[in-house]
Structure 1
Amino acid sequence: MSLHALLTLFTLGMAAGWTPGPNNALLASSGVKFGLRRTVPHALGVGLGFPVMVFLVGLFLGAAFQASALLRDVLRYGGAAMLLWVAWKIASAGGLGSSTGPIRPFRFHEAVAFQWINPKGWVMAISLTAQFMNPAHIWLTALMVAGVFLVVGLSSAFGWAALGTGLRRFLAKGHRMRIFDITMGAVIALGVVVLLRG
């Protein structure tokens, strides 16, 4: 992979990794509700889980998903349904300390598994690996693409979790937490709608 292609991949990865989406909304919400220290396993699960997914997609699954409309539809609509459920759970949470909200942050393995049902993740993994994979050096380019997403993923995961943690005191007053929960749920739901229309 040329330096120009690597810089292009990194730029696209930063734009995709830092924009609001299901992972980032969940990380910000976890940072608000549980603080940064308790959100670390979730952030690591996202930051490490997505590059592993990108690597495996680049090696094995990209061509299969591009060739099979049924597989794409199952992933697309099944993942969308799961994300809408997650959006509802976040939007209907009762605020800090509420018994109606999540009782604990995502565990590492749950955050890793979540990557495999996240439609935004699949769109990114398949489209970017398809653009940057070199069939003559498939292992090397799969590792390079995954390596870029390792850097991007860890930085954005911890960045969004820290943002949520920083907002914790501000959101503890009045109805601000309720508004935040509804906003994060709406961001996820809107992302699902955009992905389904695309």
Structure 2
Amino acid sequence: MNELLPFLTYCALMSGTPGPNNMMLVASGAHHGYRRTLPAILGMVSGVALLTFVMCLGLGALFIAWPALHAALRLAGTLYMLVLAWRLVGQPVALDRPPQALGFVQAALFQAVNPKSWLRAVTVASVFMPAQFSLPAGALTVSLAGAVVGFPCISGWALFGSGIGRLLSSPGRRRAFNAIMAASLALLALMLLY
């Protein structure tokens, strides 16, 4: 319990606090509702779990050996988030044509360039790996436990967006919402760069 409680708390904090995933889920929830956002939620949870599993198996050693690889990944993630923010601003605001929902595969693959997901995976691999398990068993345990904790945390953001979506009954309100979400995502991207 002394090791489990800090780990679960860390996973809840990383999943529940604002970040690129959660900003995208608020926007998707607002435009599509929770049910159509669920594939993105499952994709994000699966992508983070897979990233954590691979990191726990030793991928983190590459970042120690080649720090430039970490810097390149951070830059790629920042640029991708800026592109997502730009696309969010440019999305159609017609109420009868909402933007396309983020799918499972897109959301899972986004974790490969999401700096917050990498930070979480590196921290779990370096701080929370259970010493009493074999390497694969420990990696699987923390990856699955993190997914179980993360699912309800990020679902809350999609539900919040779904609630906000009811207020976006005019193109002007929807345009303003998209601009706010895009600015938030761009700001997060730039903050993660430094």
2:166 maps to 169
Name the CA shift for 1:40/1:68 in 2 (closer, same or farther; >3 Å): same
Bigger drift between 147-156 and 4-13 goes to 147-156
Q: Residue 167 of structure 2 aligns to a residue in which SS?
A: helix
| 1:114 Cα offset (Å) | 0.8
Q: Residue 116 of structure 1 aligns to a residue in which SS?
A: coil
2:192 maps to 195
Q: Distance in 1 between matches of 2:65 and 2:58?
A: 12
1:96–1:172 contact (8 Å) kept in structure 2: no
Q: Distance in 2 between matches of 1:150 and 1:96?
A: 35
2:138 maps to 141
Q: Find the partner of 1:78 among 60, 76, 79.
A: 76
Q: Identify unmatched segments of 5+ residues in structure 1.
A: none
Q: Distance in 1 between matches of 2:150 and 2:9?
A: 13
1:106 maps to 102
Q: Residue 56 of structure 1 aligns to a residue in which SS?
A: helix
Are 1:184 and 2:181 an aligned pair? yes
Q: Residue 101 of structure 2 aligns to a residue in which SS?
A: coil
Q: Distance in 2 between matches of 1:151 and 1:180?
A: 30
Q: Find the partner of 1:23 among 2, 21, 24.
A: 21
Q: Identify unmatched segments of 5+ residues in structure 2.
A: none
1:29–1:184 contact (8 Å) kept in structure 2: yes
1:160 maps to 157
Q: Could you state the TM-score of these two structures normalised by the residue count of structure 2?
A: 0.90
Relative to its length, the structure with more helix (as a share) is: 1
Q: Distance in 2 between matches of 1:135 and 1:73?
A: 30
Q: Residue 170 of structure 1 aligns to a residue in which SS?
A: coil
1:51–1:153 contact (8 Å) kept in structure 2: no
Structure 1 letter corresponding to 2:158? A
Percent sequence identity over aligned pairs:
35
| 1:128 Cα offset (Å) | 2.6
2:112 maps to 116
Q: Residue 112 of structure 2 aligns to a residue in which SS?
A: helix
Q: Residue 174 of structure 2 aligns to a residue in which SS?
A: helix
Aligned residues: 193
